[in-house]
Structure 1
Amino acid sequence: MLPSTAYLLVSHGSRDPRPQLGMEKLAELVRSRMGEGKKGKEKFSSYLPFYPSSGWGSRQSLLYSRYSDKVGTAIAISNAWTPLVETATLELGNFPLHEQIRRFANKALAYSYHQIQVLPLFLLRGVHVMEDIPQEIAIAQQRISDIVEIHQLPHLGSHPKLGQLLINQEEIADVEAKILVSHGTRRIGGNQAVEIMAQNLDAIAAYWSVDPMLPQQVKDLASKGYQEIGILPYFLFSGGITDAIAKTVTNLQQQFPQLHLKQGQPIGATPQLAELIVDLIANL
């Protein structure tokens, strides 16, 4: 983590407000974690009005940015480093992702950052990570030239310890078998990481969008004599799909009354997840 680098956490985007609320909370946790060890140092000041102020100390300088979206904005910036971490969405945002990146680049430049690292908060190495986000970054980079360098980091799902955040849940304690439910991708090899994670968690994998799906995996476990089955949603936050999974679990419970199906929680915005994100950034 370098003082000259700003970080943009990119999620898929949703009409459901819960994922974005989770993203904002997570960004704040990442800022806090990255800022640890910087206590006692000055922080960036807030936006200041465009007129001289005797309150500006010698450790501050006035930066005029011709790249600001608001003409005439003046920002007082402390020389000390404070992490700049914000969020963006690939889809369903107010602006296309490349425009969100461009605006973030303007802000980063105003705060004397000359490099942006984009971290895809995606769990699978699918089309969004491998094609869509790189294309949006390329458009943004073209529009801001080389004023600020933009780099894409490995996606969140590449962290080897991510699965540990799912396994220690009271909701699935003492189950006989576990099913890790991921969204899934049709990209060749894109689900391999889920299969490996499921194996490491002593679980089997199921997918929401591709086979094998959750009902089939529950039926297979039931046919083998398992009764206590834990369902682990491999998603960052609660949303429309996790709600749909819950309905599916309810229907399966009615279909198989001899089973005890227990559904866990998504990963969620936790200090532990923020720690993994910072670790992913630090170990590039």
Structure 2
Amino acid sequence: MPSAYLLLSHGSHDARPEIAMQKLSNLLEHRLENSQLETPNTISETIVGTAYLELQPQPLHLQICKFVKQFTPQQPLHLKILPLFLLSGMHVMEDIPAEINLAKKMLGENVQVELQPYLGSYQELGQLLAKQLTTTSAEKYILMAHGSRRPGFQVPMEKVISNLVGLNLDVTTAYWAVPPSLEDTVGELVTSGYRRIAIAPYFLFPGGITDAIAIAVEKLQLQFPGVSLNLTEPLGTSTELADLIWDLLQK
């Protein structure tokens, strides 16, 4: 049975996340090609695509159906969908499953659609996050995530932090959409005596929010001139991320 993989992101008015998604899709295609060369006796038809939950002309379930139509009609297909979300929330827990159920009804029994756990739920992502954090030396690290109003959203973040314990990094959290904010967190740390603080955006790709975080850090640096505030890059598109996704899709 042919296999296909669909990388699912939120969607943005900013062009950069979509460009990054396409680059990641290309890297994964290359990874799949190399894997098939390593096992020449395996005949497998694969294709990688991208889809978006919001801000698209078509809803997600129609994007999925359009992607599947690239294959021969009536051809059996195993489709794995990986949400490239770093935290759970309404989108991961409710919106995406609902859209996929609609797609399943439209596609019929010949297409086996498998929704993978969201990217941030995998412990292996901690290795990439560790690389992001350790690009700069600091007394304290702030992991800056979007946040959610969904009760219990902090639990996945606590698991993310726990995966970094072995690195002996002193990490705390701040959120863009809900308390504690970056401004409040930095203020508390400065009051506690920290003078070298690194801020790591817990976002996959650059976009409008990461730009706004950068501006917020510049303002905080003016407010606290005696403190070193270092902003790291988002996780970003990389061969390491493509390899990680490939490994996750094979589970």
Asked if these proteins are the same fold (TM beyond 0.5), I'd say yes
Aligned-residue offset at 1:111: 9.8
- 1:79-116 deviation digits (Å, cap 9, x = unpaired): 94242110000001121111100111212445945121
Instruction: Report the TM-score, using the length of structure 1 for normalisation.
Output: 0.80
What are the equivalent positions in structure 2 for 1:121-136 lying under 5 Å apart? 121-136=84-99
Give the partner amino acid of 1:278: W
Counterpart Cα distance in 1 of 2:73 and 2:29: 18
The verdict on how the C-alpha distance between 1:21 and 1:111 changes in structure 2, with shifts beyond 3 A counting, is: farther
Matched, 1:179 2:134: no
Counterpart Cα distance in 2 of 1:211 and 1:107: 45
How many pairs does the alignment contain? Answer: 245
Counterpart Cα distance in 1 of 2:75 and 2:220: 55
Counterpart Cα distance in 2 of 1:208 and 1:163: 21
Q: Which runs of 4+ in 1 moved over 3 A?
A: 108-113, 169-172
Residue in 1 that maps onto 2:210: 242
Matched, 1:260 2:228: yes
Aligned pair partner of 2:103 in 140, 163, 168? 140
- Stretches of structure 1 that go unaligned for 5 or more consecutive residues are 43-78
Counterpart Cα distance in 2 of 1:267 and 1:82: 30
Counterpart Cα distance in 2 of 1:133 and 1:169: 28
For the Cα contact (< 8 Å) 2:126–2:160, is it kept in 1?
yes
Matched, 1:28 2:23: no
Q: Which has the larger radius of gyration?
A: 1
For the Cα contact (< 8 Å) 2:146–2:177, is it kept in 1?
yes
- Stretches of structure 2 that go unaligned for 5 or more consecutive residues are none
The verdict on how the C-alpha distance between 1:282 and 1:223 changes in structure 2, with shifts beyond 3 A counting, is: same
Matched, 1:275 2:238: no
Aligned-residue offset at 1:212: 1.1
Mean Cα deviation higher: 162-171 or 15-24: 162-171
Residue in 2 that maps onto 1:102: 65
* Higher share in helix: 2
Matched, 1:89 2:52: yes
The verdict on how the C-alpha distance between 1:133 and 1:109 changes in structure 2, with shifts beyond 3 A counting, is: farther
Residue in 2 that maps onto 1:63: none
Counterpart Cα distance in 2 of 1:18 and 1:133: 22
Aligned-residue offset at 1:164: 2.3
